[in-house]
Structure 1
Amino acid sequence: MGYQFLEIKFIWLLGGVIVFAVLFFLLWKWKRKVIQRIGDAHLVKALTGNFSSKLFSLKSGMLSLAFVVGVLAVMDLRKPGSTEGIERKGIDVVIALDVSKSMLATDLAPNRLERAKQLINKLMEEMPDDRIGLVVFAGKAYLQMPLTTDHAAAQLFVSSAAPGAVPQQGTVISDALKMSANAFNPAERRFKAVVLISDGEDHDPAAIETAKELSAQGMMINTVGIGSPEGAYIPDPETGQNKRDETGSQVISKLNEEELKQLAQNTNGVYVRLEDSDNAVKELKAQLSQIETKAFGDVSLMNFDVYYGWFALAMFLLIVGEYFIPETKKQKA
């Protein structure tokens, strides 16, 4: 990684040089017109004999250069310093976690959601060199945490995941997959994996087609089924009673394995039913290890040599220097 501008978006400001050139040309043209209006050649020579077009051009050039240097200062040129201990090997993995209320079912103790969190934490412990992102979803998907190697921060985000994080209920897996895809760098077409953890309770007809499209873009989707085919009641945290449907019957939430299996099969991923966390992590690790690892610099930990101050100083000296340069020639003794 060589020199780079942190704020390259301000490069358009360099177009201001054209504005400066036009203004200086108009000023020069205005002076010519004033001279022509005077008419008297002897008077013009007396008034403008000491004027130096070279000095005028020099002052104009210095101001233009000061503007360019100022824009470069704003663009913040930098160069990575020491990279010792920074370069890593790893892959990018986005974990899509279902936080719908059905994840509160207790067929996995203490409940599905808590067991899912335990699984995620164990998986991160086994992936110290990988960048992890977190998407939470129910009736809608949200990027809870962008890709990062800061697994301690990731654990905090995981621990706070709850049904209340997504007001709209349901299990829209297709939205979760799209949001997961958006978390990756679009310029890279490899080394991307998603671990989707859900009970798959609500059938999402768009999920399979979305998965196929993302697989064509180089994304592997691994799915983890949470719950049991027999199902369990869903406790309501607010009332302490089991959730009931419109008829007043208690709702039983069942694991929808078929859809989760199809998602994995269509994207070269693996389906794992969570029963024992250690075994589930082992299966996921084995699948993820098939993805080629890549080297990437952890920019958040990298020290940079910055040159903003040098550009700012150069701009200041050019402006001051231009101020003290006259437009007239020195009088001969």
Structure 2
Amino acid sequence: MIADFHFLRPWWLLALLAAPPLIRLIGRRTDMRSRWEGMIAPHLLDHLLIDRGGSHRFRPVHLTAALIAVAAIAAAGPTWERERPPFVEDTAPLAIAIDLTATMYATDVSPTRLERAKLKVQDILDLRKGARTALFAYAGSAHMVLPLTDDAALVRTYLAALSPGIMPVEGKDTAKALRAVEAGLANETVPGTILFLTDGVERKAFAAFEQYRGRNDVIVLAVGTAEGGPVKTAGGGYLTDASGARVRASLDIDALKALQNGANVQVATVTLDDSDVRWIARRIQSAFAQKIAEGQTRWRDAGWWLTIPIALFAALWFRRGWTVRWAGFLLVAGLALAGSKAEAAESRFSDLWFTPDQRGRRAFERGDFQRAAEHFADPAWRGVALYRAGRFQDAIDAFAQEDTAESYYNQGNALMHLDKPKEAVAAYGQALKLRPDWAEAKANLALAERRNKQKEKQEEDEQQEQGADLPPDQVQIDEKGEKGKEGTVQAGEQTADMWMRNIQVSPADLLARKFAIEAKEGAP
């Protein structure tokens, strides 16, 4: 414990330097002997002084110096132990990477390896209610399906849409999947767990696991048997080789053992009961607790205990006659703060007295919307500040954290600035469902609908003009299929934003298009 003792904010200890000069400056002003010794002979001065011992008694300046010293130590943040957060199993994030290679359709595990893996994921979600889970898919390429979310229903929706058919690149690249998942967890403030659900890890990927030095724990849950089984196809048949014989996929147990022995990876195989799921949940909790013990959390600030003596010292100031002349202290304090930027000093001072929302409101009233957005904790006010700063997409994300009529109305306004009238129509519609008689929302809805019609007509005209010059061998996609009109778009000009606007497609189609675009653009 003694070896771990240190200060979280040691620069506050510089305030200790102010105490001795303060005592000396105030002491010289109140020491009558030092003030008159140059003008009156010493043998006469002893008889003229009424209180000879005045320079040695306890005075308010000593109390003030003690208060400065104790406050400086408290502000410096003395600490000697780490703070362990409660509910460890709920705060540990989990990223699940599902293997979508063709062999995951093998039937040695009923009904197929992939379906069994999906059932295991659902069991994990049930066991970790309220915990955050991310979903990734990989084959020859690796893609994020969902970022960390505590919405289990959303995870289940996209989990059901996963199949080998949506992957744009054949083969298996587990090393690329590991890098993609690690990148997805890079901004997390706490360590998590990466879970691979796969029917095997190729040996060429072993090096990536052996060299992995991330703070997240890695688990591989192998799905399949050593005996193997035939592999189904998407059409309901069975995969065959060049000779027409059925392809059998077996689980390489030796390779999995070699992976566990050569890398810091926990490996297990699926079971018929839920013992594997419970083992994973315990492993997530224990790995997180171990990371906490290794220093992946904050130190406990013990400085607040010193507020008790500070309060006792402050109480003595109510005594009659206990006053201090502050000119000397202010001079010393000014010298101690020399060299620091005024703006930074003001910010640190305001942090002591104002809540984040209060600091955000002060910046907002000064017209500094960028800084106001950084301070606001309230999502509505943060959204307004981002909106005023011109960061409309960030404002939408902030407003979306609340399910109120005002939130949807503000989202609609921001969407109109981004020229997304279709989404704005939906947002205004939601606002009017919650507040039917809102005149402003009705007026904005009419503007959004009119703009949406104009934009749709412009897109149709552009597609028709583009289609006239389109070579016969180009891919044609009906981007406006919901209107029943034919349009042509060159495949190279499609973007992720275009796909996301097409909200009529199924999750599987949406993921297939998203993955294809990411693979073409070289995304991990």
With structure 2 as the length reference, what TM-score do the two structures score? 0.38
Map 1:135-284 onto structure 2 (within 5 A).
135-186=136-187, 188=189, 191-200=191-200, 203-205=202-204, 207-214=205-212, 216-238=213-235, 240-266=236-262, 268-284=264-280
Higher relative contact order (CA 8 A, sep 6+): 1
Cα deviation for residue 265 of structure 1 reads 4.7
1:95 and 1:121 map into 2 onto residues whose CA distance is: 11
C-alpha displacement of 1:187: 6.5
Checking the alignment, whether the CA contact within 8 Å between 1:174 and 1:204 is kept in structure 2 is no
Once residues 149 and 387 of structure 2 are traced to their aligned partners in structure 1, the CA distance between those partners, rounded to angstroms, is: 33
Matched, 1:287 2:283: yes
Higher strand share: 1
Cα separation, partners in 2 of 1:246 and 1:129, compared to 1, 3 Å: same
Equivalent pairs, count: 216
Distance 1:309 1:104, change over 3 A: closer
SS at match of 2:275: helix
2:100 is aligned with what amino acid?
A: V
Deviation at 1:237, TM superposition (A): 2.6
Task: Tell which deviates more after alignment, 90-99 or 126-135.
Answer: 126-135
C-alpha spacing 1:286/1:248, structure 2 compared with 1 (3 Å)? same
Q: Distance in 2 between matches of 1:184 and 1:147?
A: 8
Deviations 1:265-320 (A, max 9, x none): 5554422211224011011112111123689xxxxxx852516768999xxxxxxx
- Distance in 2 of aligned mates of 1:278 and 1:311: 47
More helix by share: 2
Counterpart residue identity of residue 134, structure 2: G
CA distance in 2, matches of 1:222, 1:254: 20
**Residues 192 and 284 of structure 2 are in contact (CA less than 8 Å); yes or no, is this contact kept in structure 1?**
no
Q: Would the alpha carbon gap of residues 307 and 284 (structure 1) be closer, same or farther in structure 2, given more than 3 Å must change?
A: closer
1:121-136 superposed matches below 5 A: 121-136=122-137
How far apart are 1:118 and its partner, in Å? Answer: 0.3
Counterpart of 1:304, as a letter, is P
Partner of residue 31, structure 1: none
Identity of aligned residues (%): 22
Q: What's 1:104 paired with?
A: 105
Tell whether the 8 Å contact from 1:270 to 1:287 is kept in structure 2 after alignment: no
Partner residue, 1:304: 379
SS in 2 for 1:139: coil
Paired with 2:385 and 2:230, the residues of 1 have a C-alpha distance of: 67
1:156 Cα deviation (Å)?
A: 0.8
**1:91 Cα shift?**
0.9
Task: State the distance in 2 between where 1:157 and 1:99 align.
Answer: 14
Task: Name the CA distance, whole Å, in 1 between partners of 2:176 and 2:387.
Answer: 47
**CA–CA distance in structure 1, aligned partners of residues 386 and 248 of structure 2:** 67
Give structure 1 stretches of 5+ with no counterpart.
1-87, 296-301, 314-333
Structure 2 residue matching 1:306: 3-state secondary structure: helix
1:291 is paired with a residue whose SS is helix
Matched residues in 2 for 1:292 and 1:307: separation? 32
Contact kept, 8 Å, 2:193 with 2:219, in 1: the verdict is: yes
Instruction: Judge conservation of contact 1:270–1:284 (CA < 8 Å) in 2.
Output: no
Instruction: Give the distance between the partners of 1:230 and 1:310, measured in 2 at CA.
Output: 61
For the pair shown, the structure with the greater C-alpha radius of gyration is: 2
Matched-pair contact (CA < 8 Å) for 1:99–1:137: yes
Deviation string for 1:222-257 (max 9, x for gaps)? 01111111110112232x432112233221101123
Q: What SS class does the counterpart of residue 140 from structure 2 fall into?
A: coil
Closer/same/farther in 2, CA of residues 89 and 237 from structure 1, 3 Å limit: closer
- Would the alpha carbon gap of residues 212 and 218 (structure 1) be closer, same or farther in structure 2, given more than 3 Å must change? farther
CA contact (8 A) 2:106 2:112 kept: yes
CA RMSD of aligned residues (A): 2.9
Q: Is the 8 A contact 2:140 2:170 kept in 1?
A: yes
Structure 2, unaligned runs of 5 or more:
1-88, 298-376, 389-524
